[in-house]
Structure formats: structure tokens, C-alpha cells
Amino acid sequence: MLSYFRNLIPLSPFIAPSINSTIQPPSSPVPAASTTQPTLSPISNIQGHAYNRFIQIWLENTDFALAAGDPNIAWLSTHGISLTNYWALTHPSQPNYLAAVSGDHFGLDSDDYISVPSNIPIVADLLDTKGIAWGEYQEDMPYAGFKGIEYNNQHTGANAYVRKHNPLVLFESVTQNATRLSLMKSFTSFAADLAAGTLPQWAFVTPNMTNDGHDTSITTAGLWARSFLEPLLNNAYFMNDTLVLLTFDENEHYETPNKVFSLLLGGAVPESLKGLMDNTFYTHYSALSSLEANFDLPSLGRWDCGANIFELVAKKTGYANYAVDTTNLWFSSSYPGPLSPMDAKAWPAPNTNAKCAAGNGVLEKVMSVWGRVDGSLHYADPYPHDDGLGANASVSRLPTPSQMAPSTNLVQSGTASGPSPTATETTGLVQSGTQLSPSQTVPDTTGTAPGGTLPSSAGASVMYTAGAVTMDLGAAWCWDWTLAALGLMAGFL
């Protein structure tokens, strides 16, 4: 483990995140602040390969089967593509939100207050390179740019907005920028922007703690999701070239693999693909990599760099996704980092030499800080793992390249709660009920890593190719069970 910290590259501009907690403002100043805090609704019209607007909506803490079996979620699945192999990244909630906009959770393993230094780039920096309008809509946020820990209904104490479910407010590059704060708005602004035709081209939407299922159930969350989305699916302005990702931050039970039910909806989904299942391996990082590929944006050089791209986009850009054997994959804990209790002061270096899945290299802002480096972690690989720690690397085989056509993993949907799709053919659409398998497999092997012998279920150093690119992923070994147990004992929610 010590070797891991030696590989982290400390830079003098980086500071330790603040350990001070914000204080929820008393109820009296909030109405006054809401009348003076500006809101902005910039618009843009940048053309993408597969969609022109991307909106992601996150629900909370639900196991895959439970979400898939909800009748309202099942109804929504008939109007889009069910992503049946989509994974959250860790536990608890906050690090998943953090990672979704920055490409890494940086070791965060709690919902405690954190503030990420302003020179850690985020998705907003990518979008700004092309003038793509972006924003957030947070239900029951009292006013635009609110930075408090939470805000409850002042009469009932329910329907809470919480900071930990707002990804952009976790970054000082947003909280220290008045313009960016004005783009972080409430659902009232969503209704106004929808009516005025001023929705941004990228938006993150978070329901309150009641409607996202955190304080209630999947029944409540599913009902809210349908009631929110059904009118939008019939709104011509909203639907026009829009892609919606409906997903869950994490599953409920830490002792089970952290796979979450997810859907792609909207006018960008062709009619011929609605009601189908896509069994391609995705994580929360895939939303970032897909965005980058769709709009020809650079990468952040972190786990977004090598993450699989939504097939809807990949088939437009010609990218071949990787098949990943998830037999022993968990994503149930975070590796140590600058935001973990171990409090490593150094931030991991991004990979600034990689072309990344989108093929556009790394953001210039990242290059200006780090220069040319290969990265402290395997950021160019299709899923998060680390050789030294074995974090999230307990798969029986390392990723192998898929030789299937981009649309091959789309399979006919039966019911949303049905079995994982399986294949009876190698090309085209296939019926549900069969399991799609990688076109190539790497035999299980036993090897030796620094400090010991690999378990028999781990893969030794494997060479594989994707097109003309050859990667050596190295050996994988697992310590995930220990951290998962610690997380369970800590009782994170």
C-alpha cells in the first residue's frame, strides 16, 4: 500500500480540502436570499453525433432487481433502452455523485462535508471549451447557488434538498464562481426554462430526499420518475435530440455487487431501439465518456478516459467498447485517496498522454497543471482498478475487447424485471432470455504480484488489443472485501 502513495504526484498548488462543515442557514434569511440571488439560463446549439442535449436524473439506493420490478420504472423502460449492465462506483452516495462530474471519487468513502480544490477540473470545464450551456436542477433547493448542507420544508421537515446529492456544489470551481453558482437552480427554474425554451444542453437533475427514494421507497421514486418524465416524453421541445439517463446512485445492500438499473430515454433514442436492453458494461463514468465522444470534447484524464461509451453514441463515432467479465466485480468500496480518512495529501495524477475513448486527448487545463504524465492509476482502462491495491479488481478475468458491432449488445426487452439478456446469435438484435458473452475470453491464470501470490480467481498480466491499441492491464488482486466489511460496520447511508 505504501507504494501506492509513492506513486501519487504531489503538486504545490493543491491544498487539502476544507474540513469545516457548512451550516444550514436558518429559515428566516432564505426567503430574502431567494429574491436577490440571480439565476442564469444560457442556451447553446452545439451539434452532437447522437444527441444535442443530455439530462441525467439520479434516484437513490435501490438494488437492481427491485428497481427493474417497479411498475412505473418498467413502463418507462418500454420508452427507452434498459442498460442491464450498468454499475455504480462505490458506497455511500456522495462519492458516486462526485465521480460522475470529475472522473474520480478520489478515495471519498463518506457523506461528510468535502470541498474539492478549484484546480481539479470537472465536466463544466469540458463543456465550456465549446460553449455548451450547462446547469443543474435540484428539487427544493431554496434558491440558486445555495451552498448549505441541506434545506428542509420549514413546516414539515420533509422533502429535503441535500448537498451530498448535488455534484457540482462539491467543487470550489463552482462555489467560488458567481456565474457558475447561478446555473445551479431549483425545479422551479426547470419549469420556467422548459416553458421558455431555455434548457441547457447538459443538466444534472436531483429529486428531493422523498422523491428520489432515499427516505421512502422505490415505489415512491418510480412514481415520481414517471410523473416527472411522462409529460416530458410528450413535449416536442424537450424531446428534440435529447438523451435522458435515468439511474440510481448506488444499490442498497453493500454486500452485493453494486449494479444499478438504468435507462436511456428521449428523442435521441431511435424508435427501433425503444423497449430494448443493452447489456454492454457501463459505469457512472460512461456518462462522461459518452458526453466527450458525442460532442468531440477532451477528457479529464481520469476514469472517464477509458470508460465504455453508450452504444447509442459508440455506433456513431465508430468506437468499439470492451467486454468485462463481472463475475466477481463489486465496486463496494473506495480506494485510499486525498478525500479518504487516511488523508493522503497528494492528488493522483491524471493520464495526460492518452487519447482516451473519445479520441480527443485530455483537457488543456489538465495539461497545464500536470504536464505530460501517464497517471497514477490505470485511467485509460475500461473500468476502475489498481494493481497495487487490488481495489475493485476482483474479476476472474480482465477486460477483453468486444469484436461485436456497436448495436450487437442491444437485445429485445421482455419485461423490465426479466432475466439478463442472452444471445443466440452473434450479430444484430437478439431476443431476451440469453446471456451475451464476450467474443474473446482470457483463461483464468495464477500469477505473482509484488507482496504475494494472486488468488486463483484473479487474472495475471494480460495483453489485449482494441483496434490498433495494445494495453497491458497487469495483475489483479483483491482487498475489496475488507473495505466492504468496514463500510458495512460503519453503517454508511
Q: Tens of pLDDT along 130-168?
A: 999 999 999 999 999 999 999 998 777 788 999 999 999
The pair phi, psi for residue 286, each rounded to 5°, is: -65, -30
pLDDT category of residue 346 using cuts at 50, 70 and 90: confident
* pLDDT tens track for 443-459: 222 222 222 222 222 22
The three cell numbers locating residue 75? 413502463
**Distance between CA 213 and CA 42 in Å, rounded?**
31
For residues 459-485, average pLDDT: 30
The residue ranking higher by pLDDT, 244 or 1, is 244
215 labelled catalytic: yes
Is the Cα torsion angle 322, 323, 328, 333 positive or negative in sign? positive
Residue 109, pLDDT score: 93
pLDDT in the model for residue 29 = 59
Average pLDDT of the residues in 270-296: 98
Spatial separation of the C-alpha atoms in residues 92 and 212, rounded to whole Å: 15
**333, 484 contact by CB (below 8 A):** yes
Position 153 scores a pLDDT of 81
Per-residue model confidence (pLDDT) at position 5: 29
Residue 158: alpha-carbon gap to chain centroid: 27
Per-residue pLDDT for 365 more than 70?
yes
Q: What angle do CA 384, 92, 5 make, to 5 degrees?
A: 45
Which pLDDT band holds residue 393 (cuts at 50, 70, 90)?
Answer: low
What is the H or E stretch that residue 317 is in?
helix 311-317
- The mean of the pLDDT values for the chain is 79
Q: Which burial class, exposed, middle or buried, applies to 197 when counting CB atoms under 10 A from its CB (0-12, 13-18, 19+)?
A: exposed
Share of the chain above pLDDT 70, in %: 70
Q: So what's the pLDDT on residue 487?
A: 42
* Model pLDDT, residue 34: 64
DSSP conformational letter for 24: P
Please give the pLDDT value at position 207: 98
Q: What is the CA radius of gyration of the chain?
A: 21
Which whole number is the average pLDDT over 47-57?
Answer: 99
Looking up cell 442498497 gives: 252
SS3 228: helix
3-state secondary structure of 263: strand
Evaluate if residue 202 carries a pLDDT over 50: yes
What local confidence, expressed as pLDDT, does residue 33 receive? 65
For the record, the C-alpha cell of 407 comes out as 448495436
Q: How confident is the model at residue 347 (pLDDT cuts 50, 70, 90)?
A: very high
pLDDT for 284 equals: 98
* Distance separating alpha carbons of residues 86 and 95, to the nearest angstrom: 17
Q: Do 176 and 118 form a contact (C-beta atoms < 8 A)?
A: yes
Selected catalytic residue, list 128, 215, 374, 444: 215
